[in-house]
Chains A and B, each alone.
Chain A
Amino acid sequence: MSGNAIAEREVALVDLVDRLLGGGVVIAGEITLAVADVDLVHVSLRALVSSVATAQRQGVLPADGGDGP
């Protein structure tokens, strides 16, 4: 595919990063990675559920019956 080589590199990078971060074999359920001072955080489903309950208690999310869509 001829054309703008820079643009092609850019869109290919999007597809690559998509795969690197969203695909591949996942080795552990909860990993916090420090790669050159940058934190990548994976949240387990357990943490998500308990955080929702906490958010309800703290009023960040309306409790059941609150105003919603």
Chain B
Amino acid sequence: MKDKVLAGPLDGDLDPFARPSRGHSNALSRRIDADPESVEQGLAQLVLTIVELLRQLMERQALRRIDGGGLTEEQIERLGTTFMELDRRMEELREHFGLEAEDLNLDLGPLGRLL
């Protein structure tokens, strides 16, 4: 089989690239059961995905504002803290429902991945 790596890091350490970027191991092994607990988990998954999407959109917007200038140090600090808190809250919610970060990246078929 042909070698696919055309160029890599100078130190030869491929470790950072060895894990899937998206939850493909999950995608290949995920089942949908009918039992109530996983139905609730499925709903939580959908809901948390939307929250995660919004979080990413807001973060992107914040980064654009920072690049554009016009934010004081204090405002940037506050933004940073807010996103930290959001991250923490998201992690709590995910843990509560037994979800991994990758579980939130739903495949919408022709619309591609959500996140």
Q: Which residues of A contact B (CB under 8 A)?
A: 1, 3-4, 7-8, 10-12, 14-18, 21-22, 26, 28-31, 38-45, 48, 51-52, 54-55, 58, 60-61, 69
Contacts and interface: CB of A to CB of B under 8 A. Distances in A.
Contacts of B109: 26, 28-31, 42-44
A5 to B, nearest CB: 8
Interface of B: 3-8, 12, 14-15, 17-22, 24, 27-32, 40, 42-44, 46-47, 50-51, 55, 82, 85-86, 89, 106-113
15 contacts: A1-B3, A1-B8, A3-B14, A11-B5, A28-B109, A38-B31, A39-B31, A39-B32, A43-B46, A51-B42, A58-B43, A60-B43, A60-B47, A69-B82, A69-B85
